[in-house]
Amino acid sequence: MFPSFFAVAPKDILPDLKYPEGFIFGVDSAAYQVEGAVMEEGKGPSIWDLASRQPGFITDNTTADVVDLHYYLYKEDVARIAALGVNGHSFSVSWARIFPFGAADSPVNQAGLDHYADVIATHLEANITPVVTLFHWDTPLALNLYYGGFASPNIIDDFIHYAKTVFTAYNGSVHTWYTFNEPQVFCAQVGGAPFNATFPPGIDSTNAQFHCSYYLLKAHAGAVKAFREMNITGEIAFKNSDYVGMPWRANNTEDIEAVERTVAFNIGVFSDPIYTTGDWPQILKDTLSPDILPRFTEEDSKDLLGSADFFAIDAYRTYWNAAPPEGISACVNNSSDPLWPGCFVEVMFDFNTGWASGPAADPLTPWLQATPQFLRPSFKQYHQRWPAPKIYYSEFGFTEPFAGVRTPQELFQITEDVERTTYFMTYLGELLLSIQEDGIPVVGAFAWAIMDNAEWNSGLSARFGIQYVNYSSPTLERTYKRSAFALSDFFQTHL
Ligand code: NOJ
């Protein structure tokens, strides 16, 4: 056990409050980020396998070819999280393991289907609820080469076919499903290098993101329609990202508008069509012409509205928003403005006092500060703006500053991850109040991440794990960090 000096004991945080019956305390992972074994047992390449090979694209020049080798070590990994008392694991299926060439009329890889069947069975045997994401950014590379991936409407039918294959294979073993992980972040990538090398005709770096948003929403709606028509047991939605913030200058009308723009571009873009209006947020339609942002047909809207059984959000932080220095309308009317089309600024320090909203994470994740004090207002906003019968807090987590530069000889310093521990303890306390005091129907919380992993462009150096992975050792052994034990204690005393 870890020493208790100078740190709050998990059992002393709101000791009289408990999480509701059936609450899922989980950890998160994603296929590309943990599996490795990228060329094994029939898997096709994904766009991130290509991206990680572009010189300079990953800041520390690592790939995820091996990473945690979770593809082979999943039994050990499941046993290690079961030992902590975790009762959920949200992970993703790699599309290119099931369809190496991606397309609906291409061969299925039985080894891939068998693999995830055993992964799911292993979780069930350990009493860990498997929560499955169909798409966590790893488009089969073949689809990018054939037609430009998510920049093309061809993706819709291929995704639906893949979704149906996975639903059929695991129906009855998986209860909670997500179609897409953080589509807003994903579609923002699609317009840039190296994903832009294969744009279909008519697509460019300006409209790619919004065409992606449109096709992805249609793929989501189609998959959910199939889920329901096939009578798959369980529930399905997608994972939102980000926050509903506050105006930086409290009574400044431009900053109040900047909050609405941030919400529209980050959450509303996918959640308004699905949960409330069947349409894009008005702010998007006012900013983006139909050649950039395709408009929905009546049928699209009908398919989209109601195509989720619950609301899910990856909410790592909440910030203030401000208008661009040149003003919102000057920005909106000038598509060369670097802030166009969002035309909002995210501010991480208080306007009145200059103090940060919270402690900073590792410099490799400059977007991340711990802001537990804003969790309750943010969850109230999610629930009010996109009402759903239940909410999953699908990801939250923190990078311990400079952990990536420490050597395995400094393991004793790496495992003492006080900033991450405080992050999780304060967030979970606030979440408890959000449920018990504010009546927000949160039914599960998932800590990112099960272990250190490949953090996209930051590679292996930005370490989000509650377990350390020794990448210089051929056995890639895992070591629990302090935060893992704190989470374990917290779960045990609050369930
Ligand atoms: C959210 C993404 O879903 C995940 O893939 C990523 O690693 C974490 N945020 C941390 O940045």
Per-residue pLDDT tens over the stretch 347-358: 999 999 999 999
**Does the C-beta of 181 come closer than 6 Å to ligand 1?**
yes
pLDDT at 180 > cutoff 80? yes
Domain count, the chain: 1
CATH number, domain at 395?
3.20.20.80
Q: What is the mean pLDDT of residues 411-438?
A: 97
pLDDT at 155 > cutoff 70? yes
* Local confidence band at 150 (pLDDT 50, 70, 90 cut-offs): very high
Q: Is residue 226 part of a domain?
A: yes
Query: In this predicted model, what pLDDT tens digit does every residue of 212-256 receive, in sequence order?
Result: 999 999 999 999 999 999 999 999 999 999 999 999 999 999 999
**Does the C-beta of 77 come closer than 6 Å to ligand 1?**
no
Q: What is the residue range of 160's domain?
A: 10-319+354-494
Tell me what percent of the residues of the chain surpass a pLDDT of 90.
Answer: 98
pLDDT at 101 > cutoff 90? yes
* Local confidence band at 9 (pLDDT 50, 70, 90 cut-offs): confident
Spatial distance between the Cα atoms of 278 and 268, rounded to a whole number of angstroms = 11
Amino acid letter at 431?
Answer: L
Q: Is residue 326 part of a domain?
A: no
Q: 466 near 27, Cβ under 8 Å?
A: yes
Q: Is residue 469 part of a domain?
A: yes
Tell me, what's the pLDDT at 120? 99
Query: Which of 218, 226, 365 shows the shortest CA–CA distance to 304?
Result: 218
Tell me, what's the pLDDT at 69? 98
DSSP 336-362: TSTTTTT--EEE-B-TTT--BSS-B--
Cα separations (Å) of 373 from 319, 359, 368, 423? 11, 12, 14, 11
Q: Is residue 302 part of a domain?
A: yes
**Other C-beta atoms lying within 10 Å of the C-beta of residue 412:** 8
3-state DSSP assignment of residue 205: coil
Query: In this predicted model, what pLDDT tens digit does every residue of 319-344 receive, in sequence order?
Result: 999 999 999 999 999 999 999 999 99
Amino acid letter at 239?
Answer: K
Query: In this predicted model, what pLDDT tens digit does every residue of 359-390 receive, in sequence order?
Result: 999 999 999 999 999 999 999 999 999 999 99
Query: In this predicted model, what pLDDT tens digit does every residue of 44-62 receive, in sequence order?
Result: 999 999 999 999 999 999 9
The overall average pLDDT reported for the chain is: 97
Q: Is residue 341 part of a domain?
A: no
Residue nearest to atom 7 of ligand 1 (CA): 455
For residue 222, report the phi and psi dihedrals to the nearest 5 degrees: -65, -40
Q: Is residue 446 part of a domain?
A: yes
Question: Could you tell me how many residues make up the chain?
Answer: 495
pTM of the model: 0.98
* Local confidence band at 8 (pLDDT 50, 70, 90 cut-offs): confident
| Residue 232 tokens, joined | 């798959």
Residue 206 DSSP label: T
Own/partner pairs, 248-256, CB within 8 angstroms, 24+ separation: 248/320, 248/321, 248/322, 248/345, 248/347, 248/351, 249/322, 249/351, 250/351, 252/322, 252/323, 254/322, 254/323, 254/327, 254/328, 255/320, 255/321, 255/322, 255/323
CA of 178 to the centre of ligand 1 (A): 15
For residue 413, report the phi and psi dihedrals to the nearest 5 degrees: -90, -30
Position in ligand 1 atom list of the atom nearest CA 239: 3
Residue 409, C-beta contacts closer than 8 angstroms, at least 6 positions apart: none
Q: Is residue 324 part of a domain?
A: no
CA of 138 to the centre of ligand 1 (A): 13
Tell me, what's the pLDDT at 2? 66
**Does the C-beta of 462 come closer than 6 Å to ligand 1?**
no
Tell me what percent of the residues of the chain surpass a pLDDT of 70.
Answer: 99
**Does the C-beta of 300 come closer than 6 Å to ligand 1?**
no
Q: 118 near 162, Cβ under 8 Å?
A: no
pLDDT at 207 > cutoff 80? yes
CA 75-78-79 angle, to 5 degrees, is 85
The residue annotated as part of the active site, out of 395, 400, 419, 430, is: 395
182 noted as active-site residue: yes
CA of 112 to the centre of ligand 1 (A): 24
CA of 329 to the centre of ligand 1 (A): 32
Q: Is residue 325 part of a domain?
A: no
Burial 320-336 (b: 16+ CB within 10 A, else e): bbbbbeeebeebbeeee
